[in-house]
Amino acid sequence: MEQALIVENLKKSYGRFEALHGISFEVAPGEIFALIGPNGAGKTTALRIVATILQPTSGTVHVYGMDVQKDAARIREIISYLPEEAGAYKNLTGFGYLSFMAELFASDAAIQREYIQRASDITGLGERLRDKIGTYSKGMTRKLLLSRAVMTHPKLAVIDEPTSGLDVVAAIDIRESIRRTATEGMAVLLSSHNMLEIEYLSDRVAIIDKGTIHDVGTPQGLKDKYGKANLEEVFVQVVKQ
């Protein structure tokens, strides 16, 4: 089966500073794959390149066989990207925002309506969708944005720090939404420095630090391999090595 995402020897430099030193990994359709590492490890840079908003310095990235540099426009049709702590247009209502974003992806009005309906169901915000986004809490905004990210049935969702800054209840809601939509066949590439969250959410993880991937495996496989009780301890062990 064709892989959802293949990243090979990906490097990214900002001037003389190399943020990624040649990372490689693959994500299968329907799989939740996580990049875990501390702040500044290069997770966001990798996600932005997959989302076609940054260009790689060298190496290749293929999304369902399409190259991020040559086929960026076609890739944008089948992916969705949710940046870390992203906001929405505060003067729009929740519905207004979903409608605006759905129109950018939908080919006709019927599909646009379907996208909006799906997003409304996922958010669970009900009547609050008629209120301006400026009145939403951080958790509500994140739910709105996540539902926006998955409403178009993307084949690959790229989600940066899905629950960063959210309280426990909102974080659990978000995690469950991601899990639920992934079961429909959507591949998910996400990043987090919250390793316990990743342990619960991901099928496989890649441990990244200072622009280098140190190990890749299932959370259980990595814990067994390093004889540790959780991913945090695995991470410390891997980075020390």
Give the interface with another protein as residue ranges (CB under 8 A): 13-17, 48, 51-55, 73, 76-77, 79-90, 101, 104-105, 145, 158
Measured CA to CA, the distance from residue 9 to residue 12 in angstroms comes to: 10
Nearer to another protein (CB atom), residue 14 or residue 200: 14
Measured CA to CA, the distance from residue 41 to residue 19 in angstroms comes to: 8
Shortest CB 230 distance to another protein, Å: 30
Helix, strand and coil in the chain, % to nearest 5: 45, 25, 30
Strand partners, 7: 25, 61
Nearer to another protein (CB atom), residue 98 or residue 234: 98
CB 57 within 8 A of CB 102: no
Shortest CB 54 distance to another protein, Å: 4
Helix 168-182 × helix 138-150 angle, to 10°: 10
Nearer to another protein (CB atom), residue 137 or residue 220: 137
Q: How many CB atoms neighbour CB 77 within 10 A?
A: 13
Shortest CB 196 distance to another protein, Å: 25
Cα 106 versus chain centre, distance = 21
Q: Which residue has the tokens 């991470």?
A: 235
Shortest CB 171 distance to another protein, Å: 19
Shortest CB 161 distance to another protein, Å: 11
Nearer to another protein (CB atom), residue 77 or residue 167: 77
Nearer to another protein (CB atom), residue 104 or residue 169: 104
Q: Is 137 helix (H, G, I), strand (E, B) or coil?
A: coil
Nearer to another protein (CB atom), residue 38 or residue 87: 87
Shortest CB 1 distance to another protein, Å: 25
Task: Kindly write down the DSSP assignment for every residue of 211-238, as one continuous string.
Answer: TEEEEEE-HHHHHHHHT-SSHHHHHHHH
CB 194 within 8 A of CB 38: no
Shortest CB 17 distance to another protein, Å: 4
Nearer to another protein (CB atom), residue 116 or residue 207: 116
Six-digit token string for 225: 């391999």
